[in-house]
Chain A
Amino acid sequence: MFARGLKRKCADGEDSPPAPPAGSLQRQSLLDMSLVKLQLCHMLAEPNLCRSVLIANTVRQLQEEMSQDSTWQVPAPASAGRGPLERLVSTEILCRTPWEQQGGHSAADSGASPAPDLLSEPPGALSAQAPRSAPGCAWEAASPRESRGGFQRSLDQIFETLDSKAPRAAEGLFADVDGPYYDLDAVLTGMVGAKSVPGDGFETLASAGAPPPGVSYKRDLGELDHVVEILVET
C-alpha cells in the first residue's frame, strides 16, 4: 500500500526535531513529489483547481523554507521524476561525474547494485570536509531504512550539491554509474585536494559542471511559476 522506505522516512522526518539536515531531506523529496504532481495536473485537460492550488502552496512553502535555510542553497530540480531511493544511488555518481565529464569517460547505464558498495567511500571522503557527517559504514547496509540519523546528514550534503546541478547534467549522471572504480579514487582524491573549507568544497563541486546554485535556483523557481501559471489559467 505504501512504499515502505518512503513511509518510514517521512514518518521519522515528522517525529524528529526540526533539525535542518534531516528536515531538508524530507523537504527535498516532498518538493520532488509535489512538482511531479503539478506536472501531472498540468497534463490533464482540466486540472482540479483545488488540488493544484494546494500542491502549489505546499511547493511555495517548501521553497521558502529551503531558501531561509542559510547553510544550504537548494534549488528545486525541474526533473522531479526520481524518488529518494534513486537519489541514494546518484550520490555515488555525484562524486565521479565532474571529473568523469572532464576526463571524457563513458560508462554503461546505471544499475542500482554497484552503487551501495561504492557509497561507502564518498561519505567518508566528504566527512573529512564537513563537520557533521557520519562514518561511511552506514552505507554498507544498502538500505535506506537502516541508515537514518547521522547518515542522513552526510546524505543531505551530497544531495544539496547534486540538486545544484542542472537537470540535464543530472540525467547524464546516471549513465556513469558503472564506470571503472579506480576513477572514483581519482575523483575523491581530486575532490579532497580541491576543498579548502567545508562549505566551499561543495560549491566547488557544484560549479564544476553547472551554473552557480543561485542562478539555477532562480531559474527553477521561474519554471515553477510558469507551471503554476499555465495550470491555473486553464
Chain B
Amino acid sequence: DIISTVEFNHSGELLATGDKGGRVVIFQQEQENKIQSHSRGEYNVYSTFQSHEPEFDYLKSLEIEEKINKIRWLPQKNAAQFLLSTNDKTIKLWKISERDKRPEGYNLKEEDGRYRDPTTVTTLRVPVFRPMDLMVEASPRRIFANAHTYHINSISINSDYETYLSADDLRINLWHLEITDRSFNIVDIKPANMEELTEVITAAEFHPNSCNTFVYSSSKGTIRLCDMRASALCDRHSKLFEEPEDPSNRSFFSEIISSISDVKFSHSGQYMMTRDYLSVKIWDLNMENRPVETYQVHEYLRSKLCSLYENDCIFDKFECCWNGSDSVVMTGSYNNFFRMFDRNTKRDITLEASRENNKPRTVLKPRKVCASGKRKKDEISVDSLDFNKKILHTAWHPKENIIAVATTNNLYIFQDKVN
C-alpha cells in the first residue's frame, strides 16, 4: 500500500511505517552479529497491525480516511513500546509488547483451553511459564477522538513525556496522554468569517527540550514560536520567523511554493528546519528575519512551476529530517531521488531509491539532474523526471547513519559503509 509516514523510535531499534490503508508496520533491527561486524543489523518485520479503520461521519455525511498521517514514538519506560498514530480525525495510543512465554499446566483446563471433566481432576498443580515463539502484540490503550473539525496534519510529544499536541488546518490542541475525554485548544486561527480565510496551519512541533515551547508553520511560509506560559490561548506568537520575498523570483506561484510542508527542530533545540516546495531552510531560533542556511532541493523546477501547478505536483508535501548529530539534513524529491545536505562541508548529494539501480549491499551512485543545455552522460534531464515517483517521507536513525526512505509503495533502508 502507499506509505504515508515513517518514523524511527528513540533508540533507533524500531522503525514504524504507516500507510494509506490504516496499517502500521514496525521493523526491528537485528541485534548486531558480533562476529560479522562489517555491517549493522538488518531490519525485519516485527509487528503489523491495523491502527485505523475507515469511518463515516454521519453528521456531515463524509467518509473519514483511515490513512495514517503521522506516527510518533514515546520514549521507552518499560518493556513495552508505545506510539501515537493518527489519521485525519482520531489519535490512538498503541502499546506494543512482546510475549515469549506462556503458562502451561492448568489444573482445570486442557492445553487447548477446554475445561477438563471435574471427575478426572485428582491432583493440584500450578501452571508454569514455558518459552514459546515470540509473539508481538499491539493493543490500543487510548483513543483521542472528536477534538478536530479539520484534518490533523501533525502530532508532537512534549519533552515532559506527559502531554502532546495535535494540529489540524486551523487549530492546535494539547492533550494529556492519560486523558482522552478532553483536550485544551492552544491555537485557533479560524477567522470569524470563513470567507476571510487565507492562511492555514501546515505543521507543528514541540521543542525537544523546553516543554513550554512549540512552533507551527503556515501556508504563507511563516513559522510562529509560541510559549504556553504566556497565555492559555497562544494566538499571539512569541516569535515570528519569516524571510522577505525575493522580488526577482516573484511569480503567481510565489505563495504556493513558500507554503511550508514540514518543520523539525534540531536534536539540540537550537535550530529548526523548514521545507517548502523548492528548498530547505535552517533557522536559528534567535533570528527571526531570515534563515541562517538555505539549501535548494530542486531549483530546476522553478521554471516549470506552471506545469507543476497544472498537474498538482506543486501541492506535494515533502518532509525533511536531521541526522543524529544535526550535521546533515535530508529531504525527498521526484523521480525517487532524495537529497542530503552536509551543513559543515556545504556539500550535497542526490541519490535514488529504486530497485533497478541498486542491488543490496552496493554503494549508491550519486545522481545529477541536468537543468538545461547539453546533458552529460549519466545525467538526467528535467523533462525525463518521473513526477509520479515522489519521495515525501524520509527518516534518519537517531544515532547511526541509517536512513529510511519511502517511495510510493516501497520502503528502502540504507546505511553507510562500515569498514
A contact residues vs B (CB 8 Å cutoff): 1-3, 6-7, 9-11, 13-15, 26-27, 30, 33, 37, 45-46, 48-51, 53-54, 56-58, 61-62, 225, 228-229, 232-234
Other-chain residue from B194, B259, B305, B315 in contact with A232 (beta carbon distance below 8 A): B194
Chain B residues with CB under 8 Å of A3's CB are 307, 310
Q: How far apart are the CA atoms of A46 and B387 in the complex, in Å?
A: 25
Chain A residues with CB under 8 Å of B255's CB are 54, 57-58, 61
| A51-B62 CB under 8 A given contacts A27-B252, A30-B306 | no
Nearest CB in chain A: distance from B56 CB, A: 11
**Closest A residue by C-beta to B315:** A51
Q: Are A229 and B195 in contact (CB under 8 A)?
A: yes
Chain A residues with CB under 8 Å of B286's CB are none
Most chain B CB within 10 A, of A15, A37, A54, is at A54
| A33-B197 CB under 8 A given contacts A46-B62, A57-B255 | no
Chain B residues with CB under 8 Å of A26's CB are 306
A-B contact count (CB 8 A): 86
Q: Are B306 and A13 in contact (CB under 8 A)?
A: yes
Q: Are A7 and B304 in contact (CB under 8 A)?
A: yes
Most chain A CB within 10 A, of B60, B194, B199, B311, is at B194
Q: Which of B297-329 contact A (CB under 8 A)?
A: 303-307, 309-312, 315
Q: Are B252 and A58 in contact (CB under 8 A)?
A: yes
Nearest CB in chain A: distance from B332 CB, A: 19
Chain A residues with CB under 8 Å of B197's CB are 53, 232
Nearest CB in chain A: distance from B153 CB, A: 8
Nearest CB in chain A: distance from B306 CB, A: 3
**Closest A residue by C-beta to B310:** A33
Chain B residues with CB under 8 Å of A10's CB are 305-307
- Closest 3 A/B residue pairs (Cβ): A10-B306, A2-B307, A49-B169
Besides A56-B198, A58-B252, 12 other CB < 8 A contacts?
Answer: A6-B307, A11-B303, A14-B251, A14-B305, A45-B62, A49-B169, A50-B169, A53-B219, A54-B255, A58-B255, A58-B256, A229-B195
Q: How far apart are the CA atoms of A27 and B306 in the complex, in Å?
A: 11
User: Could you write out 10 A-B pairs with CB less than 8 Å apart?
Assistant: A2-B304, A6-B306, A10-B307, A26-B306, A46-B60, A50-B200, A53-B199, A228-B195, A229-B194, A234-B60
Q: Does B150 contact A (CB under 8 A)?
A: yes
Q: Does B112 contact A (CB under 8 A)?
A: no
Q: Which of B241-281 contact A (CB under 8 A)?
A: 251-253, 255-256, 259
Q: Does B87 contact A (CB under 8 A)?
A: no
**Closest B residue by C-beta to A225:** B195
Q: How large is the interface on B (under 10, 10 to 19, 20 to 34, 35 or more residues)?
A: 20 to 34
Nearest CB in chain A: distance from B377 CB, A: 23
Other-chain residue from B202, B303, B306 in contact with A50 (beta carbon distance below 8 A): B202
Q: Are B200 and A58 in contact (CB under 8 A)?
A: no
Chain A residues with CB under 8 Å of B194's CB are 229, 232-233
Other-chain residue from A37, A46, A50, A229 in contact with B219 (beta carbon distance below 8 A): A50
Chain A residues with CB under 8 Å of B251's CB are 14
Nearest CB in chain B: distance from A191 CB, A: 33
Nearest CB in chain B: distance from A198 CB, A: 28
Nearest CB in chain A: distance from B271 CB, A: 25
Most chain A CB within 10 A, of B198, B199, B309, is at B309
Q: Does B151 contact A (CB under 8 A)?
A: yes
**Closest B residue by C-beta to A60:** B198
Chain A residues with CB under 8 Å of B252's CB are 27, 30, 58, 61-62
Most chain A CB within 10 A, of B202, B252, B253, B305, is at B252
Chain A residues with CB under 8 Å of B307's CB are 2-3, 6-7, 10
Q: How far apart are the CA atoms of A48 and B383 in the complex, in Å?
A: 28
Nearest CB in chain A: distance from B375 CB, A: 17
| A54-B306 CB under 8 A given contacts A45-B62, A49-B150, A232-B197 | no
**Closest B residue by C-beta to A7:** B307
